[in-house]
Amino acid sequence: MHDPILVPSLLAGDHAALGASASTVARLGLPWLHLDIMDGHFVPNLSFGPETLAALRRDGSTLFFDTHLMLAQPHLFIDSFAKAGASRLTIHIEPAFDHAAAFRAIRAHGCRAGIALNPGTPAAAIEPFLAAVDLVLVMTVQPGFGGQHFRDDVIPKIAQVDRWRSERGLDLRIEVDGGIDVATAGPCRRNGADTFVAGTSFFAAPDKPAFAAAFAAL
């Protein structure tokens, strides 16, 4: 089982000072930053684009950019996000496009590839792609907005992906995203999750070193 990683989501950072919010994460010694990219189509909200990633790189950030593409047509943006400095590109299973080709394009850029699924999407939908990725993102809220309540009905899906991972000897991380705090991370961890995206709870935590330590101890 992988060590637990806390991955702060910049969506809950200071949008007038995103470089400072990224630096807060780096100063804690956390290796990854989660970047939520929204297009107003796949999800009913807008957030950042590739220029934001490029600007964070120019500002000196060397964090692993865990980039979550909530886009109806993510395959059209792989080049621009890879060139902007993404480390991982995670694409959703729900929109119709050639997922296998998209994973090949992501890897051809030297990026890691992930697949994401919404709370209403059965685990079986992503099964054909398990060997093409090294991260499965199980959404624990309907994507689009930070600050929503964690949905515990997705826990059996985390357990199913964990079973496939062990039965098939896959080197996958299982990431959860949405409504994650120390309390909701516990049942996710016990069912196989190892990668914990936290936006609201991270940026609101008054004692961030203690918050990070609690995730490291999961």
What are the respective helix, strand and coil percentages of the chain, to the nearest 5?
40, 20, 35
Tell me how far, at minimum, the Cβ of 108 lies from ligand DX5, in Å: 25
Residue among 170 and 205 whose Cβ is closer to ligand DX5: 205
Three-state DSSP at 40 gives coil
Q: How many residues sit in the footprint of ligand DX5 (CB under 6 A)?
A: 22
198 binds, among Zn ion, ligand DX5, none (CB under 5 to 8 A by kind): ligand DX5
Task: Work out whether 200 is an interface residue with ligand DX5 (CB under 6 A).
Answer: yes
8 binds, among ligand DX5, Zn ion, none (CB under 5 to 8 A by kind): none
Task: Work out whether 121 is an interface residue with ligand DX5 (CB under 6 A).
Answer: no
- C-alpha count within 13 angstroms, C-beta hemisphere, residue 185: 24
Whole-angstrom Cα distance, residue 4 to residue 186?
A: 11
Strands (E), 12-84: 32-38, 64-70
Q: Which amino acid is it at 177? A: D
Q: Which amino acid is it at 160? A: Q
Task: Work out whether 68 is an interface residue with ligand DX5 (CB under 6 A).
Answer: yes
148 binds, among ligand DX5, Zn ion, none (CB under 5 to 8 A by kind): ligand DX5
Show Cβ contacts of residue 136 under 8 Å, excluding neighbours closer than 6 positions. Answer: 114, 115, 116, 117, 126, 130, 161, 172, 173, 174, 175
Determine which residue in the list 50, 114, 178, 192 makes contact with ligand DX5, applying CB under 6 A.
178
Residue among 49 and 170 whose Cβ is closer to ligand DX5: 49
Q: Given 36, 39, 66, 181, which residue is catalytic?
A: 36
Q: Which amino acid is it at 78? A: I
Task: Work out whether 36 is an interface residue with Zn ion (CB under 5 A).
Answer: yes
Nearest to 4 by CA among 174, 124, 148, 120: 174
Q: Given 39, 66, 177, 181, which residue is catalytic?
A: 177
Task: Work out whether 68 is an interface residue with Zn ion (CB under 5 A).
Answer: yes
Task: Work out whether 88 is an interface residue with Zn ion (CB under 5 A).
Answer: no
Active-site annotation holds for 98: no
Q: What residues does 139 pair with on adjacent strands?
A: 177
Instruction: Give backbone dihedrals phi and psi of 172, rounded to 5 degrees, phi first.
Output: -115, 145
Residue among 168 and 174 whose Cβ is closer to Zn ion: 174
The residue ranges that bind ligand DX5 (CB under 6 A) are 9, 11-12, 34, 36, 68, 141, 143-148, 177-180, 197-201
| Residue ranges that bind Zn ion, judged by CB under 5 A | 36, 68, 177
- Catalytic center residues: 36, 177
